[in-house]
Structure 1
């Protein structure tokens, strides 16, 4: 049985935005991409702040969007994995 990681990249980025450290969020996602053998220079990283779902302890949640700079589509598994919730 796989362990659930409560510290997903999306959760970490959301906390950075809440704590006023959004400047470091891009660096965090670039490191995350490197861990998955992806070149961060190939991607444009966008953040979308949205209200947190009802019942959540958070006020906002940040959705991470990856766009390839060469115009090719981003692998679906990569986009899905970057936005996994805890």
Structure 2
């Protein structure tokens, strides 16, 4: 049974960047990919810091970009899930 996590991946990654733990963000995304039966070594994982939307209570947010190493586009649903807000 998968563990219940009330936070989205993007929320966790943003928190890691805010706390100065961005070094571990790639490992967190790799674990997240493994949970979805994806091969983490097949992806380049990039992070983009952006201003948070007004009214969110945050200063910044981190967008996760998944780029396949074989040149094929990453699955749209996977990219959307990685950046789901809530």
Give the TM-score normalised by the residue count of structure 1: 0.93
CA distance in 2, matches of 1:56, 1:72: 34
Root mean square deviation, CA, Å: 0.8
The alpha carbon displacement at 1:6 in A equals 3.7
Specify every segment of 5 or more residues in structure 1 that has no aligned partner in the other structure, as ranges: none
Q: Is 1:50 the equivalent of 2:50?
A: yes
Give the aligned partner of residue 85 of structure 1: 85
Give the aligned partner of residue 20 of structure 1: 20
- 1:63-83 Cα shifts (integer Å, max 9, x gaps): 000000000111110001100
Q: Secondary structure at the match of 2:47?
A: strand
Give the TM-score normalised by the residue count of structure 2: 0.93
CA distance in 1, matches of 2:71, 2:24: 25
Q: Is 1:41 the equivalent of 2:46?
A: no
Q: Is 1:60 the equivalent of 2:44?
A: no
Give the aligned partner of residue 29 of structure 1: 29
Specify every segment of 5 or more residues in structure 2 that has no aligned partner in the other structure, as ranges: none
